[in-house]
Chains A and B, each alone.
Chain A
């Protein structure tokens, strides 16, 4: 009787292990989660429905980000359930809540998810400031929470249950500078930044540190005040010093002016921007003046990693539009959370937290993904370059083509 029971059980185990694997094998497309199948066998102890929360800004000023994040998560959940990633017959369910770009609303929604719905984990919130308001609720309840778009310094300092998969600027810039320096042969640089804004000042600090680390000589540093429109004087100074690269740590509005005025002052070297310049609007408003502008990003739609290509195809088929970085990070976030639940084989917050923290070199659309000891993401950023009004991935061949 006992033996029979064991035999049946092991047969079931084999089935559970093999069936999803064989299903995946039929699919020629790259599939998320393939590389974890062996390390984490299909879970046995999960309830029939595993519920997680997703707290995004679906209305209000920043809803343009929240809406694509929802699309990214929905796509991931669909794939996770189709692949029976959490075990045969088990379903991952997501409760979406709207933080409405409002900190108080974010706290209320987080309380609802954590205390009423008793979700296993939460994705979001969209904005860093919402995260600073709402994440302590999840931290206190011992519910893992993962930001998929929070880039401010100090997000994960809120506690050991707080994660993010969105690269902060301090991680994007060094990788981007290194790639650009290697491909373009940068030996000297100048920096222009607004000295009255936390975001642009921290961008400047990272640029300066990175240039020092890479042995790139800084030949000029100029500042301006947010709201300025005339940068001719600062740029004249910088251009006189003849740098190979001008690094711009600015918000989009001033960045446009800086790029246009650098062109009319006859600057022909390379331009690089922080995350504030990572916007199609900047390219659109600067026209050919920003041709060749390099901006680092966590992800680019032109990335050739197979999982990224598969994600773009599926997303476009489902939503009739191309994904952006926010969609890619949200999609990856949902897969990371599902993977942690699968590997923990539990819906207990602490167990999922430990499994999440243990994720290393997981293959995702963002590249090989790990969490560092502070629960911040580790993966290679993409150096993007403006080619004819759109961001492409900067490659050595691209430079060779131009001779």
Chain B
């Protein structure tokens, strides 16, 4: 079979930018708290819906939907931390309890979305998103695909800058390294947690809006498949590693796209998840991950 390589690369990059952005929030919470937030995919789904209703119900221009969704899902993140994580942490509950608590939060958020939005897929109105490709290129790429990539890369760069180059990021890393020591050094740990959850929520919301724009099919269940892909991405990139999540997103998307392109559409998910299994087995710190101690 002839594989249209340039076009498939475009497809992989489009998918990869959403995966990476989604996985960043996952990685951020993991790096600071050492806990997987499995409600992340539900926040992502809410982001897609909030982006949609900003446009369809509130009659705002398309670009407004991104910041609106990010702020709202950021607040979702804060509520999540306050209700599902903080009480458990205060009681010194083991990390597995926080993980299970986040599963509960996820089920609640999905059910709530079903109640509010129904389970029929909803779409951005036809004609709102230009579908004509950019002319003069050897492959088909629509303006919105370019916007998605640029927004995703910008947000990733912003996050990287925030964590690595600012005082705030320094405090976050200190908390990630050792919560007790950080608090002894005068860092307000609980506000750092809130901030982390806000940022992770906002990233999930942004990924949700971009996903809604890219694929234009929004249901309360869109989080489920991407949650598993996101998990693969952060394991691949080294749990809690920000650059790792970024690169991992594109690797997983590329693998998915080219396994289909090579005629293996039946085995697509088998290939991706075999990789997850293999990495956990052979290189648990991830392909580009560091040892646990130097995390964050």
Contact = CB atoms under 8 A, between A and B. Distances in A.
Contact of B265 (A222, A241, A260): A222
A285 interface: yes
Interface stretch (B39-47, B121-129, B155-163): B121-129
Contacts of A256: 121, 123, 217
Interface residues of B, number: 34
A2 interface: no
B251 to A, nearest CB: 15
B269 A225 contact: yes
Interface stretch (A97-105, A228-236, A304-312): A228-236
Given A234-B260, A264-B131, A224 B265 contact: yes
B11 interface: yes
Nearest to A196: B266
Contact of A253 (B127, B217, B266): B217
Interface string B221-260: 1101100000000000000000000000000000011001
A240 interface: yes
Interface string B262-284: 01011001000000000000000
B212 to A, nearest CB: 10
B217 A236 contact: no
A257 interface: yes
A232 B265 contact: no
A233 B222 contact: no
Nearest to A264: B131
The number of chain A residues touching the other chain, given as a range, is: 20 to 34
Nearest to A257: B217
Contacts, number: 76
A286 B217 CA distance: 12
Contacts of A233: 8, 11-12, 256-257, 260-261, 265
Nearest to B260: A233
B67 interface: no
Main secondary structure of the interface of B (DSSP, over half): loop
Contact of B216 (A222, A257, A266): A257
Contact of B261 (A225, A236, A264): A236
Nearest to A239: B4
Given A230-B215, A234-B260, A241 B121 contact: no
A195 interface: yes
B225 A236 contact: no
A285 B123 contact: yes
Q: Which of A233, A234, A253, A256 has the most CB of B within 10 A?
A: A233
Contacts of B217: 229, 253, 256-257
B131 A236 contact: no
B142 interface: yes
Contacts of A59: none
Contacts of B7: 236, 240, 265
B133 A264 contact: yes
B221 A227 contact: yes
Interface string A225-268: 10111101110110111000000000001001100100111100
A287 interface: yes
Given A237-B1, A264-B131, A232 B261 contact: no
Nearest to B226: A229
Given A236-B8, A285-B123, A285-B126, A229 B215 contact: yes
A223 interface: yes
A178 B256 CA distance: 36
A203 to B, nearest CB: 17
Nearest to B224: A227
A266 B126 CA distance: 17
Q: Which of A253, A264, A266, A286 has the most CB of B within 10 A?
A: A264
Nearest to A223: B265
A237 B260 contact: yes
Interface in A204-227: 220, 222-225, 227
Contact of A264 (B3, B142, B257): B142
B255 to A, nearest CB: 11
B82 interface: no
Contacts of A230: 11, 15, 214-215
Contact of B2 (A227, A234, A240, A264): A240
B14 interface: yes
B118 to A, nearest CB: 13
Nearest to B267: A223
A226 to B, nearest CB: 11
A232 B11 contact: yes
A236 B11 contact: yes
Contacts of A263: 131
A289 B127 CA distance: 11
A249 to B, nearest CB: 14
Contacts of A225: 269
B95 interface: no
Contacts of B123: 256, 285
A239 B4 CA distance: 9
A49 to B, nearest CB: 44
Contacts of B126: 285-287
A229 B290 CA distance: 34
Contacts of B265: 222-224, 233-234
A264 B215 contact: no
B266 A195 contact: yes
Interface of A: 195, 220, 222-225, 227-230, 232-234, 236-237, 239-241, 253, 256-257, 260, 263-266, 285-287, 289
19 contacts: A222-B265, A223-B266, A227-B225, A229-B222, A230-B215, A232-B15, A233-B261, A236-B4, A236-B11, A237-B1, A237-B260, A240-B3, A241-B2, A256-B121, A260-B216, A264-B131, A264-B133, A265-B7, A266-B140
A-B pairs, top 5 by smallest CB distance, nearest first, are A229-B215, A287-B126, A232-B11, A233-B260, A240-B4
Given A232-B11, A232-B14, A264-B133, 6 more contacts: A233-B260, A237-B1, A240-B1, A253-B121, A253-B217, A286-B126
